Structures are given as structure tokens and as C-alpha cells.
Amino acid sequence: MNKVLIFTAVAVLAMGTAVQADPTSNAVAHIYATVDPNVAVAAPSAAVDAGAYQTGTVTGTITFRVDANTQAVSLQVCASDLWKGDDPTGTDVDPIALDATAGATILPTNANPIGGASNNGPFTTAGTPVEGFPTQCADPISFESSQNNHFSQDVTVTVQWDQTDPEKPQGEYSGVVQLIAVVLPVG
């Protein structure tokens, strides 16, 4: 009796799971891709002339282009002293010192600092060398664009140096200014 019952149960199950194929068939799978946030920074002019000075404050204003597919970015400026003859290893002539207390002023065309923060970040940390020039980095500042969910605009950066030596050897002194952009998380 048990054998007949088991045989009947197996036969019923086999009939219930039989698959019949039609002449055509198809299946659909949902596919998706995620666009990651990204940012690009460019310096439209590789060299910027800060002018001629004897003593006093040397002001450099650089326009960078920042393009991001998100509306909020953190911007940070790193800058070097200005060295005679473009030689950061030179020891014969002291460089024109970066005015760390003046900080770096960042002015995007269509964005403001988030939370009412200042658009001027003081130079507070040593940076990594850029093109051989030792740098100092200003505090990063978070900005939100007024553009529709992107940040694609010119960003003007102003940095100052302090030329205090009235007998500084004449000639060209140069250094670097770097703008670092980092996308911020949404929300």
C-alpha cells in the first residue's frame, strides 16, 4: 500500500512539473548603470603675470575652470613662495614669502560657500610639493552652485605674497598656485 501511494504521489508531481515549450519565447532583465560624481579642474592660462613690485604685497589672481556633474564641491588652494629664477632649490636668494595669514580667496562665478562660510581660507597646513615647489594649503571651503545640479563655471583664486626686502635682487620670481576640487556627497 505504501509503495502504491508513493508511486501515485511521484506520478502526480511529475505531471505537475512538466514543461511545454511554445514556438517562441522571451525573457526580460532589468539593467541599470550608475553615473558616478566627477570633477575636472583646468587652468586656462598656464602662466599668470602678477605684475612688477619693489616692496609690499604681491597679489596673484588666477582663473580656473571647474566642471562637475554635481552641484556641491569642496575647493582648496595650495600655493608656494615665489622663487628667483623659478628655482625652488636655490639657496642664494630668499623667496618672496606666501602671506599665509591673508589666506586664499575663492570666488566661483555661480556659487556661494555652504552654510554662510567665508570664501577665504587661511593657509594652515604644509602641502605636498607641486612641480618641485614646496606648498602650503589653505583650509578647504565647500561651495554649492546656483546651476541646475552641476558645477560648471570659472573660479577666481586670489593669493598674496609679502615682499619686505627693499634690497631684494631684481629679476623674476615665480611659484605655483594649485586648486583642488573634491565632489561632496549629495544630501
pLDDT at 47: 87
pLDDT at 35: 87
pLDDT at 10: 45
Question: CA Rg, the chain, in Å?
Answer: 31
Report the SS3 class of residue 60: strand
∠154-79-66 over CA atoms, to 5°? 20
Closest CA to 144 of 187, 182, 114, 108: 114
Residue with cell 587661511: 122
Q: What parts of the chain have a pLDDT lower than 50? A: 4-14
pLDDT at 5: 47
Contact 51, 116 (CB under 8 A): no
Fold classification of 39-183 is: Immunoglobulin-like (2.60.40)
Residues 6+ apart with CB under 8 A from 50: 58, 59, 60
How far apart CA 52 and CA 157 sit, in angstroms, is: 19
Mode of pairing for the β-strands spanning 141-145 and 111-113: antiparallel
| Domain range annotation of the chain | 39-183
pLDDT at 8: 46
List phi, psi (to 5°) of 183: -70, 145
Q: Which residues pair with 151 in a beta bridge?
A: 68
Count CA atoms closer than 13 A to 143's CA, side-chain side. 33
pLDDT at 154: 96
pLDDT at 3: 55
Closest CA to 177 of 142, 139, 136: 136
- H/E segment holding residue 182: strand 177-183
